[in-house]
Amino acid sequence: MTAAQAGDRFQCECGQRLEVPTLRHLTALERMEEAALPRAKSWGARQGIVFLGASIIAIAAVCMLVLQLQRPERIHEQLIQTNIDNLSPAEVWRAWAVLEHGIRRSLFPGEVSVLARNQIDIRTWEQLRTTALVVGGIGVLLVAIGLFIVRPPRRRTSPV
């Protein structure tokens, strides 16, 4: 109660009307300190595990997005599109001596190194993608564990 409420009447939840003493009577009463109520924890292990899992999922999703934007193309598609499609008829006629042997021709040294580098890039990208998927799966697993943790029942304090 505060001094501003002195002399007022209030209705209790049970329906009973309560009268607050006047200011003179309030000053005569013995002063009591408010009992400090135990503060409820806002975060526990459950919320921490869910937050950690969600954070891991978010990081894995960003990694997957970046990886998808930097996905390497297979080299044979690039060679067909750039070398054949962009050649003029005169350039194709001059290159026919090499091209007439077809796919089974042996690769030039420069082509071998470019093709090998492209295959390494593709394997690396696939490994990184798999790693990001596994990390995201761990995040999903942590969120599921956090959601299924059963809270211990709260202890009720009995009035003394």
User: Does pLDDT of 154 surpass 80?
Assistant: no
DSSP H/E element including 18: strand 17-19
Q: How far apart are the first and last CA of the chain?
A: 22
Instruction: Please tell me whether the overall predicted TM-score, pTM, comes out greater than 0.85 for this model.
Output: no
Place of tokens 């295959």: 119
The domain locations on the chain are 45-76+103-148
Give the closest residue to 139 by CA, choosing from 48, 65, 60. 60
Give the closest residue to 57 by CA, choosing from 155, 139, 151. 139
Query: Length of the chain, please?
Result: 160
pLDDT at 81: 47
User: Does pLDDT of 113 surpass 70?
Assistant: yes
Q: β-strand 9-11 against 17-19: which pairing, if any?
A: antiparallel
44 CA to centre of own chain? 19
Model confidence pLDDT, tens digit, residues 31-79 = 777 666 667 677 888 888 999 999 999 999 999 999 999 998 877 644 5
Which residue type is seen at 130?
Answer: T
The mean pLDDT of the chain is 78
